[in-house]
């Protein structure tokens, strides 16, 4: 062979060697498996909750049956059989994240939390509750009487006046009671009508309840401990009893007021020379109102300051005693 022939000969291309122990079928299987695997991770099955009949009954008073209370499902979101929404599931973009925390789609009622509403002068009150406290009933009657004066209704016991009074109540049970007994109620005497109202709105034991509120009164339990507020409140209670002929007489009423006095106020009255045993209730009440106004404005702050100083002195003595005891234990 000539030198020229040997120079034109090209070297053989390099080949990748495969070990004889390699399993070719396994390589192909792995390659096919990697090609069939999706790029995104597999979605976990969605967890849906169900509502038992017991839960539906428990929440039945919270479910709003009015049309339009819940939003229809979005077209992009598949409908579900369960009314519950799982915390991890996708929801409509128009729904807030707080909706997922509710066990059922609910709409809270907008009922008033107050037992009654004073609609202002010249307007009848609106009563929301069935059972009322004695002071609430007294306030409602006072508001209604002002309305009658504005409406120029001279007789509060007339049939029209009683119809207007019964129309003030919006509680379902009370409305049903008035609807059933209306014809009998408008024919009752003033005392019997008032007694029927008190029994239905306060309770059948209302007389015992009101008498206890009067006889067990304490001046410190009223706003700012004012004697005038206590007197006017107890007088309104006694007027409820008076409406049915069961009021507390003036002598017992005055004794009750005296027993309810604040002890510091009673001491102040004694220092002022006030005769608490006088039998003239009106004059006695007028004098105590004046003395109580002076007592709360001048004397009570001084008593509070002295009580504070006494408390600080007791604390100082206690701290000194503890310090002496600790020094003695060290020595």
Task: Please check the confidence at residue 313 and state whether its pLDDT lies above 60.
Answer: yes
Burial of 227 (0-12, 13-18, 19+ CB in 10 A): buried
Query: Sign of the C-alpha dihedral, residues 80, 84, 85, 91?
Result: positive
Token readout for 240 is 């409820």
The mean per-residue pLDDT over the stretch 213-217 comes to 95
Residue 241 CA to residue 210 CA, distance in Å, equals 8
Q: Is residue 111 part of a domain?
A: no
Q: Is residue 9 part of a domain?
A: no
Residue 107 CA to residue 63 CA, distance in Å, equals 6
- The structure's pTM equals 0.57
Length, in residues, of the chain:
331
Domain boundary among 202, 225, 251: 202
Provide the pLDDT for residue 298.
74
Task: Please check the confidence at residue 212 and state whether its pLDDT lies above 50.
Answer: yes
The separation between CA 180 and the C-alpha centre of its own chain, rounded to angstroms, equals: 32
Q: Which of 118, 163, 168 is nearest to 143 (CA)?
A: 118
Token readout for 253 is 């009423």
The separation between CA 25 and the C-alpha centre of its own chain, rounded to angstroms, equals: 75
Task: Please check the confidence at residue 288 and state whether its pLDDT lies above 60.
Answer: yes
Asked if 151 and 169 sit in the same domain, the reply is yes
Provide the pLDDT for residue 62.
47
Min mean pLDDT across 40-44, 120-124, 279-283 is at 40-44
Residue 248 belongs to what domain range?
A: 208-305
Asked if 239 and 172 sit in the same domain, the reply is no
The string over 262-274, giving b where at least 16 C-beta atoms fall within 10 Å of a residue's C-beta and e elsewhere, is: bebbeebbeeeeb
Provide the pLDDT for residue 230.
95
Which of 279 and 30 is assigned the larger pLDDT?
279
How many structural domains are present in the chain? 2
Residue 262 CA to residue 187 CA, distance in Å, equals 46
110 within 8 A of 90, measured Cβ to Cβ: no
Angle between helical axes of 172-185 and 159-166 (0-180°, round to 10): 170
Task: Please check the confidence at residue 89 and state whether its pLDDT lies above 50.
Answer: no
Task: Please check the confidence at residue 250 and state whether its pLDDT lies above 60.
Answer: yes
Which of 77 and 144 is assigned the larger pLDDT?
144
Asked if 194 and 283 sit in the same domain, the reply is no
Task: Please check the confidence at residue 81 and state whether its pLDDT lies above 90.
Answer: no
The mean per-residue pLDDT over the stretch 202-217 comes to 95
pLDDT band of 32, cuts 50, 70, 90 = very low
Provide the pLDDT for residue 87.
42
With a pLDDT cut of 70, the percent of the chain lying above it is 62
Asked if 167 and 231 sit in the same domain, the reply is no
Token readout for 45 is 């099955």
The mean per-residue pLDDT over the stretch 119-138 comes to 93
Residue 232 CA to residue 139 CA, distance in Å, equals 12
Q: Is residue 108 part of a domain?
A: no
To the nearest 10°, report the CA torsion of 305, 307, 309, 312.
Answer: -140
Min mean pLDDT across 95-104, 228-237, 315-324 is at 95-104
- The residues facing 117 across adjacent strands are 126
Angle between helical axes of 134-150 and 190-201 (0-180°, round to 10): 130
Q: Is residue 310 part of a domain?
A: no
Q: Is residue 133 part of a domain?
A: yes
Task: Please check the confidence at residue 211 and state whether its pLDDT lies above 80.
Answer: yes
Most confident of 112-121, 128-137, 219-228: 128-137
The string over 284-319, giving b where at least 16 C-beta atoms fall within 10 Å of a residue's C-beta and e elsewhere, is: bbebbeebbeebbeebbeeeeeeeeeeeeeeeeeee
Q: What is the pLDDT of residues 234-247, one digit of tens each?
A: 999 999 999 899 99
Q: Looking up tokens 């006095």, which residue turns up?
A: 261
Which of 113 and 306 is assigned the larger pLDDT?
113
Provide the pLDDT for residue 324.
76
Q: Is residue 301 part of a domain?
A: yes
Domain boundary among 202, 226, 244: 202
Three-class DSSP category at 24: helix
Asked if 213 and 198 sit in the same domain, the reply is no
With a pLDDT cut of 90, the percent of the chain lying above it is 44
Provide the pLDDT for residue 82.
41
Burial of 197 (0-12, 13-18, 19+ CB in 10 A): buried
Q: Is residue 15 part of a domain?
A: no
Q: Is residue 163 part of a domain?
A: yes
Q: What is the residue-averaged pLDDT of the chain? A: 75
Provide the pLDDT for residue 50.
54
């Amino acid at each position: 062979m000539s030198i020229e022939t040997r120079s034109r000969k090209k070297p053989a291309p390099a080949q990748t060697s495969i070990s004889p122990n390699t399993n070719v079928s396994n390589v192909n299987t792995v390659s096919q498996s990697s090609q069939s695997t999706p790029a995104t991770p597999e979605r976990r099955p969605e967890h849906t909750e169900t509502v038992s009949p017991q839960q539906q009954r428990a929440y039945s008073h919270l479910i709003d049956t009015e049309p339009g209370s819940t939003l229809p499902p979005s077209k992009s979101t598949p409908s579900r059989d369960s009314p519950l929404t799982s915390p991890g599931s996708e929801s409509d973009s128009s729904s807030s994240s707080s909706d997922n925390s509710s066990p059922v789609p609910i709409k809270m009622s907008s009922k008033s939390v107050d037992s009654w509403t004073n609609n202002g002068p010249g307007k009848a009150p609106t009563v929301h509750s069935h059972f009322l406290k004695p002071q609430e009933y007294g306030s409602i009657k006072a508001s209604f009487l002002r309305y009658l004066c504005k409406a120029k209704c001279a007789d509060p016991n007339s049939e029209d006046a009683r119809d207007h009074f019964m129309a003030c109540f919006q509680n379902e049970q009370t409305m049903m009671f008035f609807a059933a007994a209306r014809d009998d109620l408008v024919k009752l005497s003033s005392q019997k009508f008032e007694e029927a109202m008190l029994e239905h709105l306060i309770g059948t034991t209302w007389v015992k309840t009101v008498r206890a509120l009067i006889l067990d009164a304490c001046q410190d339990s009223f706003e700012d401990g004012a004697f005038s507020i206590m007197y006017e409140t107890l007088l309104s209670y006694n007027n409820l009893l008076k409406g049915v002929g069961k009021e507390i007489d003036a002598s017992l009423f005055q004794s009750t007021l005296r027993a309810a006095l604040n002890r510091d106020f009673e001491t102040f009255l004694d220092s002022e020379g006030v005769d608490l045993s006088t039998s003239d209730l009106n004059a006695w009440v007028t004098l105590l109102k004046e003395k109580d106004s002076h007592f709360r404005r001048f004397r009570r702050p001084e008593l509070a300051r002295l009580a504070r100083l006494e408390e600080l002195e007791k604390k100082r003595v206690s701290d000194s005693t503890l310090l002496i005891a600790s020094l003695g234990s060290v020595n």
